[in-house]
Amino acid sequence: MAISDPKCRKNNSREELHNRILQEAKRLFMSNGIKVMTMDSIAASLTISKRTLYEEFPDKETLVMEVVKQVQCENEVMFSKVYEESDNVLQSILRIYYLVLQMVRDIHKDYFFDLKRYPSVNKMHEENKLRDRNKVITFFQKGVSQGLFRGNMNYEIVNVFLEAQLEALKKSEITEKYPFNDVFDTLIFTFLRGIATDKGLLLIEKYKSDYFAGSLKP
């Protein structure tokens, strides 16, 4: 899913080339993986010289980092809109889940593995996890107040477990054997059912049915 929110782009005319490079690099990385895309091939796809490309981005890691930052910004804008439009925490989680599935379906399988090659990207990823940890825990606690998640859980521990499972999934070869959608579906719904109340369990099944019937829009 290609999303380019104006909030995530620099707006003055001098930055038009910069933004165009970012958009094309993002498309190429996600369609082909990052490793196979050289600065030469990116410049050729943009019909610009290598010199022009290097004037904007001094090396490939800088370009990868800027693409990842832009993707994160666009996702934050999109997810914030989901939060505002959802009736409760579970609906937010499931709508975002189905959005992520749609995005991942269009991304080359090597993209996420290739990101691990760049120390600056990994460092930023870890910093973002620490930054967002309290927000995630607050989100779970809101689900408790809505009667959807169990109140007898330590959600700091729950969040650590979820992070560990998602990291393990990135490093696992399980998606070589089974479709990514099936693996992610099993992980997310096993997790949600483990923390849900009876009321939450009923809503999970309702939202799943609504989505496949086309009445729950991501």
Structural domains of the chain, count: 2
DSSP 149-166: B-TTS-HHHHHHHHHHHH
Average pLDDT over residues 200-206: 92
Residue 137 · residue 156 · CB < 8 Å: yes
Average pLDDT over residues 162-185: 77
Whether 6 and 101 map to the same domain: the answer is no
pLDDT score recorded for residue 27: 96
Residue 63 sits at the vertex; the CA angle it makes with 58 and 69, to the nearest 5 degrees, is: 135
Domain end position, chosen among 85, 113, 139: 85
Domain end position, chosen among 65, 85, 105: 85
CATH of the domain at 129: 1.10.357
Residue 88 · residue 146 · CB < 8 Å: yes
Question: By mean pLDDT, which of 69-78, 82-91, 108-117 is the weakest?
Answer: 108-117
| pLDDT over threshold 60, residue 11 | no
Helices (H), the chain: 16-32, 39-46, 50-56, 60-85, 89-105, 110-115, 119-145, 155-171, 174-177, 180-195, 198-213
pLDDT band at 10; cut points 50, 70, 90: low
pLDDT band at 100; cut points 50, 70, 90: confident
Domain end position, chosen among 85, 102, 121: 85
Domain that residue 72 falls in: 1-85
Whether 166 and 201 map to the same domain: the answer is yes
Q: What is the pTM of this model?
A: 0.79
CATH of the domain at 38: 1.10.357.10
Burial class (CB in 10 A: 0-12, 13-18, 19+), 64: buried
* Two structure tokens written together for 111: 């993209």
Whether 18 and 113 map to the same domain: the answer is no
